Structure 1
């Protein structure tokens, strides 16, 4: 790259990630027109995308803060970092599972009310501790909904803690399936999780299908006094229905990493201030993964872990490379190669991958062509109906 590529951050990003940017990059938090953006939870929905913007890298898994449809329409690839914070979330889920089961949260709050009792504190503690008798998790049934990077880790470790684990995930990947303990019983109907589990933890994205999936109808089929852990998204739970279920004893505890005004007033709710991925190691891992993916795309056009483009990659051997993002419609590749032929360019290597209504094509080129001709090539490609974005990497 002859000119430095500008990268802008919208949140505080771990220096271990940003330090990966080479001398070919300029990190500028105030840049008006960067080629790349790295962020965590910054809300981009009201933001106008800069004209030069090619990629957004989210240092984390959730991308609800990014307008994906608009990014896709403008040919901007959006990355996330699945699995980078999985261990941090897993540890907090298991910590909360055990601490809530043993009534540790309630016990701590009660002990703090004794601060003015002086020398009587030890005696009062012994007299009052019986109200916080809890239950062990060993031998109990944990239902894990979503067996991705986090859910699979939770399930595997819960098995090691002596729990009977049932998991539900109709879209589990082959890699996750291989990593899942054979002791985890997979079920094909989520109702089975609701009916059998003493504890339920959810690790699924928020979609139209999953929004408020924990509601009065699902609570009806659950065991009385079930504990529900939500370290995914607050909107997966219908707050008013949860409040009633807690008051009725249908739900024994609701542990959520997404507190709001309603959860703070719920009986037996344990609100955690969104600490799931808040560990030093997690923030570093997410930043490193996000920056590497961003650099790989800007330098080679290769894509891994995009949420709106298909994953696609070719080994980069120094050829001039064409990338094209277009509608997934018939004869797009044929039209692209026809244009290349008119410019007397041969194809050294090529891949084409689709994702939903769109596709991404990577082509390594052979042939003599100057920069001015490349501009003409891109202009010609953009006249193809259904073409959204092209880029030449030299």
Structure 2
């Protein structure tokens, strides 16, 4: 009989052999499901010692009904949809995968920036349609453009490192980082208002919180240059898509490049698909074979630590340490 029960509520991977390799030697019965609704999750995980989620949400009313759970781990960096206070109150660690795709996401953001600046995809479509000269639109050298970066975390800094050889004007806003640290890194600290009003490109790397939800809304778009481009590789709900469509319709901004949307997958008739000046990729900024291996292994490794009586490494609700010590 298995010593522990670990439930995977949902995932999009072809195999969970990495997780089995890590957990089964500890006497774990690893149960693999595709449930995102609270009713089914509670049915299969009420007595679980640990839970791994990907897209499933863990609200307080669900967390409070877990009888034995000691850790919830997520196949992601973000923790939106997880009630961290409820986890702490229940004595449950919540762990994410804090640094598995820094290079991938920052490179993807750079690719989106370059696509919007150089229009390679549009030129390709233009020539494939039998045309050669005079594709509509204008382009500017990135060298003297202003690139605004929202956040100064690890992915944002990796993006900045990639952009520095291409652009002399990188402005950054992150209220949790000192201006001194930003200046020493070779970027210019600016207020959000200054970035909104003056940046030619704004690349968003902040987490989704109540404060950042719909950070880019009608009010924000009205402050931006009518040639400015928004790049979002963070979380979809940071941008109000309804307000973005309005801004595009009214020519308030120059375009957008998005790897994330408010609802995924979007419907085939999503209004953003009708714009030629919008690039959308299917939430793939994180992906490489190497990053996926880390993404799948890290939650299982933290669960293994907890089952062995050790502290997990990637704890988000750090207040739990005071409760458990």
What displacement does 1:143 show?
0.6
Map 1:1-394; keep pairs closer than 5 Å.
4-10=3-9, 11=11, 12=13, 15-16=17-18, 18-21=20-23, 23-29=25-31, 32=45, 33-45=47-59, 49-111=65-127, 114=129, 124-127=130-133, 130-131=135-136, 134-172=139-177, 182-187=185-190, 189-259=191-261, 260=266, 261-266=270-275, 268-310=277-319, 353=321, 359-362=322-325
Distance 1:181 1:265, change over 3 A: farther
2 CA distance for matches of 1:18 and 1:94?
A: 35
Q: Deviations over 1:16-63 (max 9, x none)?
A: 454333611324225653211223223445856542211011121112
Alignment TM-score, normalising by the size of structure 2? 0.80
Secondary structure of 1:125 counterpart: coil
Long gaps (5+) in structure 2: 33-43
Secondary structure of 1:19 counterpart: helix
Secondary structure of 1:142 counterpart: strand
What displacement does 1:272 show?
1.5
Distance 1:15 1:132, change over 3 A: farther
What displacement does 1:82 show?
1.6
Larger-Rg structure: 1
What displacement does 1:281 show?
1.7
Q: Deviations over 1:103-142 (max 9, x none)?
A: 2233344455x3xxxxxxxxx3323x53366444233221
2 CA distance for matches of 1:263 and 1:298?
A: 46
Mean CA deviation greater in 53-62 or 213-222: 213-222
2 CA distance for matches of 1:298 and 1:216?
A: 48
1 CA distance for matches of 2:114 and 2:174?
A: 24
Mean CA deviation greater in 194-203 or 45-54: 45-54
Secondary structure of 2:22 counterpart: coil
What displacement does 1:288 show?
2.6
2 CA distance for matches of 1:103 and 1:241?
A: 24
Long gaps (5+) in structure 1: 115-123, 311-324, 326-352, 354-358, 363-394
Q: Deviations over 1:320-375 (max 9, x none)?
A: xxxxx5xxxxxxxxxxxxxxxxxxxxxxxxxxx5xxxxx3343xxxxxxxxxxxxx
Alignment TM-score, normalising by the size of structure 1? 0.68
Secondary structure of 1:57 counterpart: strand
Distance 1:69 1:109, change over 3 A: farther
What displacement does 1:84 show?
1.3
Question: Which one scores higher on RCO, CA 8 angstroms, separation ≥ 6?
Answer: 2
Distance 1:34 1:284, change over 3 A: same
Q: CA RMSD in A?
A: 2.9
Secondary structure of 1:307 counterpart: coil
Aligned length: 300
Secondary structure of 1:194 counterpart: helix
1 CA distance for matches of 2:199 and 2:184?
A: 18
What displacement does 1:14 show?
5.4
